[in-house]
Structure 1
Amino acid sequence: MKRVGVIGVGEIGRAIVTGLCEGAGDAPEVFLSPRGARTAAELSGRYESVRVCAGNQEVLDRSDIVIIAVRRDDRHEALAGLTVGDDRVVVNVMAGVGNDDLRRTLATGAPLVRAIPLPAVRERRSVTVTHPAHPVVDDLFARLGGVLPVGDEAAFNVFSALTGTLTAHYSYLATIASWATGHGIAPEAADSYVRGLFQGVGRSLSDRTRSLHQLAADHETPNGSNERVRTTWFTPANAQALGQTLDDLLTRLDGPRDGGARDGGARGLQAEGAALDEDRHADA
Protein backbone atom coordinates (compact mmCIF):
# COMPACT_ATOMS: atom_id res chain seq x y z
CA MET A 1 0.00 0.00 0.00
CA LYS A 2 1.28 3.45 -0.92
CA ARG A 3 1.96 6.16 1.68
CA VAL A 4 -1.22 8.18 2.16
CA GLY A 5 -1.47 11.86 3.06
CA VAL A 6 -4.60 13.70 4.20
CA ILE A 7 -4.95 17.48 4.01
CA GLY A 8 -8.01 18.48 6.04
CA VAL A 9 -8.67 16.01 8.85
CA GLY A 10 -12.41 16.43 9.39
CA GLU A 11 -15.11 13.79 9.54
CA ILE A 12 -14.33 12.24 6.15
CA GLY A 13 -10.57 12.37 6.73
CA ARG A 14 -11.05 10.64 10.08
CA ALA A 15 -13.26 7.96 8.50
CA ILE A 16 -10.71 7.21 5.76
CA VAL A 17 -7.82 6.92 8.22
CA THR A 18 -9.86 4.73 10.55
CA GLY A 19 -10.89 2.42 7.72
CA LEU A 20 -7.31 2.07 6.50
CA CYS A 21 -5.84 1.45 9.93
CA GLU A 22 -8.44 -0.11 12.24
CA GLY A 23 -7.67 -3.80 12.64
CA ALA A 24 -5.55 -3.79 9.47
CA GLY A 25 -2.29 -5.71 9.71
CA ASP A 26 -1.01 -4.02 6.54
CA ALA A 27 -2.04 -0.47 7.43
CA PRO A 28 -0.24 2.10 5.27
CA GLU A 29 1.86 4.96 6.55
CA VAL A 30 -0.49 7.93 6.89
CA PHE A 31 0.59 11.58 7.11
CA LEU A 32 -1.90 14.15 8.38
CA SER A 33 -1.97 17.90 8.02
CA PRO A 34 -2.23 20.00 11.19
CA ARG A 35 -5.62 21.26 9.98
CA GLY A 36 -8.11 19.65 12.34
CA ALA A 37 -5.38 19.42 14.96
CA ARG A 38 -7.43 17.70 17.64
CA THR A 39 -8.63 14.94 15.30
CA ALA A 40 -5.16 14.52 13.78
CA ALA A 41 -3.60 14.16 17.25
CA GLU A 42 -6.25 11.63 18.26
CA LEU A 43 -5.62 9.49 15.18
CA SER A 44 -1.83 9.59 15.53
CA GLY A 45 -2.18 8.54 19.16
CA ARG A 46 -4.43 5.61 18.23
CA TYR A 47 -2.52 4.18 15.24
CA GLU A 48 1.22 3.54 15.08
CA SER A 49 1.39 4.15 11.32
CA VAL A 50 -0.17 7.65 11.52
CA ARG A 51 1.92 10.83 11.88
CA VAL A 52 0.96 14.51 12.09
CA CYS A 53 3.08 16.77 9.86
CA ALA A 54 4.19 20.32 10.55
CA GLY A 55 2.38 21.64 7.48
CA ASN A 56 0.61 20.74 4.26
CA GLN A 57 3.79 20.80 2.17
CA GLU A 58 5.30 18.12 4.38
CA VAL A 59 2.21 15.97 3.84
CA LEU A 60 2.74 16.27 0.08
CA ASP A 61 6.46 15.59 0.29
CA ARG A 62 6.06 12.41 2.34
CA SER A 63 3.05 10.86 0.59
CA ASP A 64 2.43 9.00 -2.65
CA ILE A 65 -1.34 9.54 -2.57
CA VAL A 66 -2.66 12.83 -1.17
CA ILE A 67 -6.32 13.16 -0.20
CA ILE A 68 -7.56 16.75 -0.16
CA ALA A 69 -10.52 16.93 2.20
CA VAL A 70 -10.73 20.59 3.16
CA ARG A 71 -14.01 22.46 2.94
CA ARG A 72 -14.74 23.92 -0.47
CA ASP A 73 -14.59 27.53 0.76
CA ASP A 74 -11.25 26.93 2.51
CA ARG A 75 -9.41 25.37 -0.41
CA HIS A 76 -7.53 28.44 -1.66
CA GLU A 77 -6.19 29.28 1.78
CA ALA A 78 -5.27 25.67 2.57
CA LEU A 79 -3.59 24.94 -0.78
CA ALA A 80 -1.94 28.26 -1.57
CA GLY A 81 1.76 28.04 -2.39
CA LEU A 82 2.00 24.25 -2.28
CA THR A 83 4.28 22.39 -4.69
CA VAL A 84 2.76 19.12 -5.90
CA GLY A 85 5.12 16.83 -7.77
CA ASP A 86 3.82 15.22 -10.93
CA ASP A 87 4.68 11.81 -9.44
CA ARG A 88 1.99 12.21 -6.75
CA VAL A 89 -1.63 11.11 -7.08
CA VAL A 90 -4.13 13.64 -5.74
CA VAL A 91 -7.58 12.56 -4.56
CA ASN A 92 -10.13 15.37 -4.54
CA VAL A 93 -12.99 14.73 -2.08
CA MET A 94 -14.22 18.35 -2.02
CA ALA A 95 -17.89 18.52 -3.03
CA GLY A 96 -18.52 20.87 -5.92
CA VAL A 97 -14.85 21.38 -6.80
CA GLY A 98 -14.01 19.97 -10.22
CA ASN A 99 -10.62 18.65 -11.18
CA ASP A 100 -10.01 21.52 -13.62
CA ASP A 101 -10.56 23.98 -10.77
CA LEU A 102 -8.23 22.04 -8.48
CA ARG A 103 -5.53 21.73 -11.16
CA ARG A 104 -5.52 25.50 -11.61
CA THR A 105 -5.16 25.95 -7.86
CA LEU A 106 -2.32 23.43 -7.51
CA ALA A 107 -0.62 24.15 -10.86
CA THR A 108 0.44 20.52 -11.16
CA GLY A 109 0.54 17.84 -13.80
CA ALA A 110 -0.13 15.12 -11.22
CA PRO A 111 -3.10 12.78 -11.79
CA LEU A 112 -6.25 14.16 -10.12
CA VAL A 113 -9.10 11.85 -9.13
CA ARG A 114 -12.42 12.94 -7.66
CA ALA A 115 -14.00 10.68 -5.03
CA ILE A 116 -17.12 10.58 -2.83
CA PRO A 117 -16.15 8.63 0.30
CA LEU A 118 -18.92 8.41 2.90
CA PRO A 119 -18.52 8.06 6.69
CA ALA A 120 -19.14 4.30 6.50
CA VAL A 121 -15.68 3.84 4.94
CA ARG A 122 -14.48 3.79 8.56
CA GLU A 123 -16.06 0.33 8.78
CA ARG A 124 -14.95 -0.65 5.27
CA ARG A 125 -18.54 -1.07 4.05
CA SER A 126 -19.23 1.89 1.77
CA VAL A 127 -18.83 2.02 -2.00
CA THR A 128 -16.91 5.12 -3.12
CA VAL A 129 -17.63 6.74 -6.50
CA THR A 130 -14.50 7.93 -8.36
CA HIS A 131 -13.66 9.79 -11.56
CA PRO A 132 -11.60 9.15 -13.56
CA ALA A 133 -10.66 5.56 -12.85
CA HIS A 134 -7.13 5.25 -11.50
CA PRO A 135 -5.63 1.92 -10.37
CA VAL A 136 -3.94 3.28 -7.25
CA VAL A 137 -6.96 5.27 -6.06
CA ASP A 138 -9.43 2.54 -6.92
CA ASP A 139 -7.32 0.03 -4.97
CA LEU A 140 -7.35 2.34 -1.95
CA PHE A 141 -11.14 2.66 -1.92
CA ALA A 142 -11.64 -1.02 -2.73
CA ARG A 143 -10.03 -1.65 0.67
CA LEU A 144 -12.63 0.64 2.24
CA GLY A 145 -15.72 -1.19 1.00
CA GLY A 146 -15.69 -0.99 -2.78
CA VAL A 147 -15.25 1.43 -5.64
CA LEU A 148 -17.50 2.61 -8.47
CA PRO A 149 -15.56 4.47 -11.19
CA VAL A 150 -17.72 6.62 -13.50
CA GLY A 151 -16.90 7.88 -16.96
CA ASP A 152 -17.34 11.64 -16.67
CA GLU A 153 -17.81 14.45 -14.18
CA ALA A 154 -21.46 14.94 -15.13
CA ALA A 155 -22.25 11.41 -13.94
CA PHE A 156 -20.00 11.91 -10.92
CA ASN A 157 -21.98 15.00 -9.90
CA VAL A 158 -25.26 13.08 -10.09
CA PHE A 159 -23.89 10.65 -7.51
CA SER A 160 -22.61 13.58 -5.47
CA ALA A 161 -26.11 15.10 -5.45
CA LEU A 162 -27.53 11.81 -4.15
CA THR A 163 -25.35 12.07 -1.05
CA GLY A 164 -27.14 15.33 -0.23
CA THR A 165 -30.20 13.32 0.81
CA LEU A 166 -28.56 11.59 3.80
CA THR A 167 -29.38 14.03 6.59
CA ALA A 168 -32.94 14.45 5.27
CA HIS A 169 -33.34 10.72 5.91
CA TYR A 170 -32.07 11.05 9.48
CA SER A 171 -34.35 14.04 10.04
CA TYR A 172 -37.30 12.00 8.74
CA LEU A 173 -36.56 9.32 11.34
CA ALA A 174 -36.20 11.94 14.08
CA THR A 175 -39.53 13.47 13.05
CA ILE A 176 -41.51 10.23 13.26
CA ALA A 177 -39.86 9.39 16.59
CA SER A 178 -40.90 12.82 17.88
CA TRP A 179 -44.44 12.19 16.64
CA ALA A 180 -44.58 9.02 18.75
CA THR A 181 -43.26 10.96 21.75
CA GLY A 182 -46.03 13.50 21.25
CA HIS A 183 -48.52 10.66 21.59
CA GLY A 184 -47.21 9.58 24.97
CA ILE A 185 -44.37 7.20 24.07
CA ALA A 186 -41.22 7.64 26.14
CA PRO A 187 -38.48 9.28 24.00
CA GLU A 188 -36.05 6.41 24.61
CA ALA A 189 -38.64 3.82 23.55
CA ALA A 190 -39.62 5.79 20.42
CA ASP A 191 -35.97 6.26 19.46
CA SER A 192 -35.16 2.58 20.01
CA TYR A 193 -38.14 1.36 18.01
CA VAL A 194 -37.54 3.68 15.04
CA ARG A 195 -33.88 2.68 14.90
CA GLY A 196 -34.76 -1.02 14.94
CA LEU A 197 -37.50 -0.56 12.36
CA PHE A 198 -35.21 1.08 9.83
CA GLN A 199 -32.19 -1.07 10.57
CA GLY A 200 -34.35 -3.90 9.27
CA VAL A 201 -35.11 -1.86 6.15
CA GLY A 202 -31.39 -1.26 5.72
CA ARG A 203 -30.65 -4.98 5.85
CA SER A 204 -33.26 -5.66 3.17
CA LEU A 205 -31.31 -3.41 0.79
CA SER A 206 -28.62 -6.07 0.58
CA ASP A 207 -31.07 -8.21 -1.41
CA ARG A 208 -29.93 -7.33 -4.92
CA THR A 209 -32.42 -9.74 -6.52
CA ARG A 210 -35.22 -7.19 -5.97
CA SER A 211 -35.31 -3.67 -7.34
CA LEU A 212 -35.96 -0.72 -5.04
CA HIS A 213 -39.47 -0.48 -6.52
CA GLN A 214 -40.02 -4.16 -5.78
CA LEU A 215 -38.76 -3.86 -2.20
CA ALA A 216 -41.22 -1.02 -1.61
CA ALA A 217 -44.07 -2.98 -3.20
CA ASP A 218 -43.25 -6.08 -1.15
CA HIS A 219 -43.64 -4.08 2.06
CA GLU A 220 -47.14 -2.88 1.11
CA THR A 221 -50.56 -4.52 1.07
CA PRO A 222 -53.47 -2.98 -0.86
CA ASN A 223 -55.27 -0.45 1.33
CA GLY A 224 -52.79 -1.11 4.13
CA SER A 225 -50.99 1.33 6.44
CA ASN A 226 -47.85 1.67 4.32
CA GLU A 227 -49.83 2.39 1.18
CA ARG A 228 -51.88 5.00 3.04
CA VAL A 229 -48.82 6.91 4.28
CA ARG A 230 -47.08 6.73 0.91
CA THR A 231 -50.03 7.88 -1.15
CA THR A 232 -51.22 10.64 1.20
CA TRP A 233 -47.84 12.04 2.28
CA PHE A 234 -45.33 11.17 -0.44
CA THR A 235 -47.59 12.55 -3.14
CA PRO A 236 -46.60 13.18 -6.77
CA ALA A 237 -46.24 16.87 -5.87
CA ASN A 238 -43.85 16.04 -3.02
CA ALA A 239 -41.91 13.68 -5.27
CA GLN A 240 -41.60 16.40 -7.89
CA ALA A 241 -40.42 18.88 -5.25
CA LEU A 242 -37.71 16.44 -4.20
CA GLY A 243 -36.67 16.01 -7.81
CA GLN A 244 -36.50 19.79 -8.24
CA THR A 245 -34.37 20.11 -5.09
CA LEU A 246 -31.93 17.54 -6.48
CA ASP A 247 -31.91 19.29 -9.87
CA ASP A 248 -31.07 22.58 -8.15
CA LEU A 249 -28.27 20.90 -6.21
CA LEU A 250 -26.93 19.33 -9.39
CA THR A 251 -26.89 22.76 -11.05
CA ARG A 252 -24.80 24.05 -8.15
CA LEU A 253 -22.40 21.13 -8.46
CA ASP A 254 -21.78 21.19 -12.19
CA GLY A 255 -23.17 24.43 -13.57
CA PRO A 256 -26.38 25.19 -15.48
CA ARG A 257 -28.08 22.32 -17.27
CA ASP A 258 -30.70 22.50 -19.99
CA GLY A 259 -34.32 22.70 -18.93
CA GLY A 260 -35.11 19.27 -20.33
CA ALA A 261 -32.58 17.62 -18.04
CA ARG A 262 -33.99 19.39 -14.99
CA ASP A 263 -37.61 18.62 -15.91
CA GLY A 264 -36.69 15.03 -16.65
CA GLY A 265 -35.25 14.58 -13.16
CA ALA A 266 -38.29 16.05 -11.45
CA ARG A 267 -40.72 14.12 -13.66
CA GLY A 268 -38.79 10.93 -12.98
CA LEU A 269 -39.45 11.19 -9.26
CA GLN A 270 -43.07 12.20 -9.87
CA ALA A 271 -43.49 8.87 -11.69
CA GLU A 272 -42.13 6.83 -8.78
CA GLY A 273 -45.51 6.44 -7.09
CA ALA A 274 -47.13 5.23 -10.30
CA ALA A 275 -44.34 2.73 -10.88
CA LEU A 276 -44.67 1.44 -7.32
CA ASP A 277 -48.43 1.02 -7.75
CA GLU A 278 -47.80 -0.98 -10.93
CA ASP A 279 -45.33 -3.25 -9.11
CA ARG A 280 -47.70 -3.73 -6.19
CA HIS A 281 -50.72 -4.60 -8.34
CA ALA A 282 -48.59 -6.97 -10.42
CA ASP A 283 -48.04 -8.99 -7.25
CA ALA A 284 -51.58 -8.65 -5.89
Structure 2
Amino acid sequence: MKPEPSGPGWATGPLQAIDSIAGELLRAEEQRAARGPLTDDYPELDIDAAYRIQDEALSQRIERGETVIGIKLGLTSPAKQRQMGVTAPLTAWLTDAMTLPSGDALPQDLLIHPRVEPEITFVMGRRLTGPGVTAASALAAVDRVYASLEVIDSRYLDFKFTLPDVIADNASSAYYLTGPIGADPASLNLPLEACLLEVDGHLAATGVGASVQGHPAEALAMAANALAKRGHAIEAGWVVMTGGMTDAVAARRGATITAHFTHLGSVDLRC
Protein backbone atom coordinates (compact mmCIF):
# COMPACT_ATOMS: atom_id res chain seq x y z
CA MET A 1 0.00 0.00 0.00
CA LYS A 2 1.23 3.49 -0.83
CA PRO A 3 2.42 5.34 2.31
CA GLU A 4 0.41 8.47 3.02
CA PRO A 5 1.66 11.64 4.72
CA SER A 6 -0.11 13.00 7.75
CA GLY A 7 -0.31 16.46 9.26
CA PRO A 8 -0.56 19.82 7.49
CA GLY A 9 1.94 19.01 4.71
CA TRP A 10 4.70 16.79 3.46
CA ALA A 11 7.30 18.79 5.32
CA THR A 12 5.81 17.31 8.50
CA GLY A 13 4.89 13.94 7.00
CA PRO A 14 6.04 10.66 8.54
CA LEU A 15 9.58 9.40 8.02
CA GLN A 16 8.14 6.10 6.79
CA ALA A 17 6.77 7.80 3.66
CA ILE A 18 10.01 9.64 2.97
CA ASP A 19 12.08 6.47 3.44
CA SER A 20 9.80 4.39 1.24
CA ILE A 21 9.70 6.86 -1.64
CA ALA A 22 13.47 7.38 -1.57
CA GLY A 23 13.82 3.62 -1.86
CA GLU A 24 11.40 3.55 -4.81
CA LEU A 25 13.51 6.05 -6.74
CA LEU A 26 16.75 4.19 -6.02
CA ARG A 27 15.19 0.93 -7.19
CA ALA A 28 14.02 2.62 -10.40
CA GLU A 29 17.62 3.71 -10.97
CA GLU A 30 19.07 0.27 -10.22
CA GLN A 31 16.51 -1.56 -12.35
CA ARG A 32 16.54 0.97 -15.24
CA ALA A 33 12.77 1.21 -14.86
CA ALA A 34 11.38 4.65 -15.71
CA ARG A 35 8.22 5.50 -13.80
CA GLY A 36 5.57 8.17 -13.76
CA PRO A 37 6.18 11.31 -11.70
CA LEU A 38 5.81 11.03 -7.93
CA THR A 39 3.33 13.88 -8.07
CA ASP A 40 0.93 11.68 -10.05
CA ASP A 41 0.64 9.48 -6.95
CA TYR A 42 1.34 12.18 -4.35
CA PRO A 43 -0.10 15.46 -5.69
CA GLU A 44 0.52 17.13 -2.33
CA LEU A 45 4.30 16.57 -2.58
CA ASP A 46 6.05 19.88 -1.91
CA ILE A 47 9.62 21.14 -2.26
CA ASP A 48 10.52 20.69 1.43
CA ALA A 49 9.42 17.07 1.35
CA ALA A 50 11.20 16.52 -1.97
CA TYR A 51 14.49 17.59 -0.37
CA ARG A 52 13.79 15.27 2.56
CA ILE A 53 13.38 12.42 0.04
CA GLN A 54 16.62 13.48 -1.69
CA ASP A 55 18.51 13.50 1.62
CA GLU A 56 17.08 10.14 2.63
CA ALA A 57 18.13 8.65 -0.72
CA LEU A 58 21.62 9.97 -0.06
CA SER A 59 21.61 8.25 3.34
CA GLN A 60 20.67 5.00 1.61
CA ARG A 61 23.46 5.49 -0.93
CA ILE A 62 25.94 5.98 1.93
CA GLU A 63 24.66 2.85 3.65
CA ARG A 64 25.49 0.84 0.53
CA GLY A 65 29.03 2.22 0.44
CA GLU A 66 28.97 5.45 -1.54
CA THR A 67 30.78 8.58 -0.34
CA VAL A 68 29.60 12.17 -0.73
CA ILE A 69 32.06 14.14 -2.85
CA GLY A 70 30.11 17.27 -3.73
CA ILE A 71 26.94 18.81 -5.08
CA LYS A 72 25.37 19.59 -8.42
CA LEU A 73 23.09 22.46 -9.34
CA GLY A 74 20.08 22.42 -11.60
CA LEU A 75 17.83 25.08 -13.10
CA THR A 76 20.65 27.63 -13.16
CA SER A 77 19.38 29.11 -16.42
CA PRO A 78 16.92 32.01 -15.90
CA ALA A 79 14.82 30.66 -18.77
CA LYS A 80 14.51 27.24 -17.12
CA GLN A 81 13.72 28.89 -13.79
CA ARG A 82 10.87 30.82 -15.35
CA GLN A 83 9.62 27.62 -16.96
CA MET A 84 9.56 25.84 -13.58
CA GLY A 85 8.32 28.85 -11.60
CA VAL A 86 11.36 29.25 -9.33
CA THR A 87 13.86 32.05 -8.70
CA ALA A 88 16.92 30.06 -7.57
CA PRO A 89 18.73 26.87 -8.63
CA LEU A 90 18.03 23.52 -7.05
CA THR A 91 20.76 21.45 -5.41
CA ALA A 92 21.48 17.73 -5.44
CA TRP A 93 24.22 15.39 -4.24
CA LEU A 94 27.26 13.92 -5.96
CA THR A 95 28.84 10.67 -4.76
CA ASP A 96 31.96 8.82 -5.83
CA ALA A 97 29.80 6.31 -7.70
CA MET A 98 28.82 9.10 -10.12
CA THR A 99 32.40 9.80 -11.21
CA LEU A 100 33.27 8.57 -14.70
CA PRO A 101 37.04 8.25 -15.22
CA SER A 102 38.43 10.03 -18.27
CA GLY A 103 38.61 7.63 -21.20
CA ASP A 104 35.92 5.28 -19.92
CA ALA A 105 32.87 4.73 -22.10
CA LEU A 106 29.47 5.62 -20.71
CA PRO A 107 27.92 2.47 -19.15
CA GLN A 108 24.75 2.57 -21.24
CA ASP A 109 23.50 -0.73 -19.79
CA LEU A 110 23.15 0.98 -16.39
CA LEU A 111 21.11 3.91 -17.71
CA ILE A 112 17.57 4.58 -18.92
CA HIS A 113 17.66 7.52 -21.37
CA PRO A 114 20.85 9.51 -20.71
CA ARG A 115 21.51 13.04 -21.86
CA VAL A 116 24.68 15.14 -21.64
CA GLU A 117 25.33 18.81 -20.94
CA PRO A 118 28.54 20.86 -20.57
CA GLU A 119 29.27 22.61 -17.29
CA ILE A 120 31.82 24.70 -15.44
CA THR A 121 32.85 22.78 -12.34
CA PHE A 122 34.53 24.04 -9.18
CA VAL A 123 36.74 22.16 -6.73
CA MET A 124 36.52 23.84 -3.35
CA GLY A 125 39.61 25.03 -1.51
CA ARG A 126 37.82 25.70 1.75
CA ARG A 127 34.49 25.15 3.46
CA LEU A 128 31.66 27.40 2.33
CA THR A 129 28.59 27.85 4.49
CA GLY A 130 25.67 30.26 4.45
CA PRO A 131 23.78 32.34 5.09
CA GLY A 132 25.13 35.52 3.59
CA VAL A 133 27.45 34.00 0.99
CA THR A 134 28.04 36.32 -1.98
CA ALA A 135 29.43 35.50 -5.41
CA ALA A 136 32.74 37.10 -4.43
CA SER A 137 33.09 35.16 -1.18
CA ALA A 138 31.99 31.97 -2.94
CA LEU A 139 34.59 32.36 -5.67
CA ALA A 140 37.27 33.10 -3.06
CA ALA A 141 36.60 29.63 -1.59
CA VAL A 142 37.23 27.88 -4.93
CA ASP A 143 40.58 26.20 -5.53
CA ARG A 144 40.37 25.14 -9.18
CA VAL A 145 37.97 25.37 -12.12
CA TYR A 146 37.42 22.58 -14.66
CA ALA A 147 35.51 21.91 -17.83
CA SER A 148 33.09 19.02 -17.38
CA LEU A 149 30.33 16.98 -18.93
CA GLU A 150 27.40 15.84 -16.85
CA VAL A 151 25.31 12.81 -17.77
CA ILE A 152 21.74 13.17 -16.54
CA ASP A 153 19.26 10.29 -16.50
CA SER A 154 15.81 10.97 -15.12
CA ARG A 155 13.96 8.12 -13.46
CA TYR A 156 10.73 9.54 -14.90
CA LEU A 157 9.21 8.56 -18.23
CA ASP A 158 10.24 10.86 -21.09
CA PHE A 159 12.01 13.27 -18.70
CA LYS A 160 8.60 14.66 -17.70
CA PHE A 161 8.36 15.90 -14.11
CA THR A 162 7.48 18.79 -11.83
CA LEU A 163 9.96 20.65 -9.63
CA PRO A 164 9.35 18.47 -6.53
CA ASP A 165 9.72 15.36 -8.69
CA VAL A 166 13.15 16.31 -10.01
CA ILE A 167 14.39 17.45 -6.59
CA ALA A 168 13.39 14.11 -5.06
CA ASP A 169 15.17 12.32 -7.93
CA ASN A 170 18.47 14.07 -7.05
CA ALA A 171 18.19 16.31 -10.12
CA SER A 172 18.43 13.35 -12.52
CA SER A 173 21.94 12.48 -11.35
CA ALA A 174 23.92 9.80 -13.18
CA TYR A 175 27.60 10.46 -14.02
CA TYR A 176 30.05 13.27 -14.61
CA LEU A 177 33.59 13.66 -15.89
CA THR A 178 36.01 16.58 -15.87
CA GLY A 179 38.62 17.76 -18.33
CA PRO A 180 42.40 17.72 -17.76
CA ILE A 181 42.90 21.43 -17.09
CA GLY A 182 42.40 22.80 -13.59
CA ALA A 183 42.60 26.60 -13.72
CA ASP A 184 42.95 29.24 -11.03
CA PRO A 185 39.56 31.00 -10.85
CA ALA A 186 41.34 34.37 -10.69
CA SER A 187 42.80 33.72 -14.15
CA LEU A 188 39.40 33.35 -15.83
CA ASN A 189 36.55 35.60 -16.88
CA LEU A 190 33.94 32.98 -16.07
CA PRO A 191 30.87 34.73 -17.51
CA LEU A 192 32.69 34.94 -20.87
CA GLU A 193 34.12 31.40 -20.78
CA ALA A 194 32.58 29.88 -23.89
CA CYS A 195 31.75 26.29 -24.77
CA LEU A 196 31.12 24.54 -28.08
CA LEU A 197 29.30 21.22 -27.70
CA GLU A 198 29.81 18.70 -30.49
CA VAL A 199 28.25 15.32 -31.22
CA ASP A 200 30.37 13.18 -33.53
CA GLY A 201 32.22 16.29 -34.66
CA HIS A 202 29.08 18.25 -35.51
CA LEU A 203 28.19 21.40 -33.59
CA ALA A 204 25.18 20.75 -31.37
CA ALA A 205 25.06 23.78 -29.06
CA THR A 206 26.98 26.76 -27.76
CA GLY A 207 26.98 28.50 -24.39
CA VAL A 208 28.88 30.80 -22.06
CA GLY A 209 29.40 30.94 -18.33
CA ALA A 210 26.93 33.81 -18.09
CA SER A 211 24.21 31.29 -18.97
CA VAL A 212 24.66 29.94 -15.44
CA GLN A 213 22.88 32.43 -13.20
CA GLY A 214 24.77 35.31 -14.86
CA HIS A 215 28.01 34.01 -13.30
CA PRO A 216 28.80 30.48 -12.07
CA ALA A 217 29.90 31.96 -8.73
CA GLU A 218 26.39 33.37 -8.25
CA ALA A 219 25.05 29.83 -8.57
CA LEU A 220 27.64 28.61 -6.07
CA ALA A 221 26.65 31.32 -3.57
CA MET A 222 22.96 30.53 -3.96
CA ALA A 223 23.69 26.84 -3.39
CA ALA A 224 25.65 27.53 -0.20
CA ASN A 225 22.87 29.72 1.18
CA ALA A 226 20.15 27.24 0.24
CA LEU A 227 22.05 24.29 1.75
CA ALA A 228 22.55 26.24 4.99
CA LYS A 229 18.78 26.40 5.45
CA ARG A 230 18.81 22.58 5.53
CA GLY A 231 21.79 22.39 7.88
CA HIS A 232 24.41 21.60 5.23
CA ALA A 233 27.63 23.26 4.05
CA ILE A 234 29.85 22.86 0.99
CA GLU A 235 33.01 21.20 2.27
CA ALA A 236 36.65 21.76 1.31
CA GLY A 237 37.67 19.40 -1.47
CA TRP A 238 34.14 18.95 -2.76
CA VAL A 239 33.23 19.11 -6.42
CA VAL A 240 30.50 21.60 -7.35
CA MET A 241 28.89 21.30 -10.77
CA THR A 242 27.38 24.69 -11.48
CA GLY A 243 24.72 23.73 -14.03
CA GLY A 244 24.27 23.25 -17.75
CA MET A 245 25.62 25.92 -20.09
CA THR A 246 23.48 24.58 -22.95
CA ASP A 247 20.48 22.34 -23.34
CA ALA A 248 21.29 18.67 -22.87
CA VAL A 249 21.83 16.41 -25.89
CA ALA A 250 20.91 12.74 -26.12
CA ALA A 251 23.75 10.33 -25.34
CA ARG A 252 23.19 7.97 -28.25
CA ARG A 253 24.99 4.65 -27.95
CA GLY A 254 28.22 4.80 -29.94
CA ALA A 255 28.32 8.59 -30.25
CA THR A 256 31.19 10.79 -29.08
CA ILE A 257 30.26 14.01 -27.28
CA THR A 258 32.92 16.70 -26.90
CA ALA A 259 32.85 20.05 -25.13
CA HIS A 260 35.47 22.60 -26.20
CA PHE A 261 36.02 25.47 -23.73
CA THR A 262 37.85 28.74 -24.37
CA HIS A 263 40.48 28.36 -21.65
CA LEU A 264 39.57 25.13 -19.86
CA GLY A 265 40.39 22.76 -22.72
CA SER A 266 38.22 19.96 -24.02
CA VAL A 267 36.47 17.01 -22.46
CA ASP A 268 35.27 13.93 -24.41
CA LEU A 269 32.69 11.26 -23.65
CA ARG A 270 32.31 8.03 -25.60
CA CYS A 271 28.70 6.95 -25.40
Q: Which has the bigger relative contact order, CA under 8 A and spacing at least 6?
A: 2
TM-score, shorter chain, exceeding 0.5: no
Name the structure where helix makes up a greater proportion of residues. 1
Question: Which one has a bigger Cα radius of gyration?
Answer: 1
Please give the TM-score of this superposition, normalised by the length of structure 1. Answer: 0.27
| Higher strand content, 1 or 2 | 2
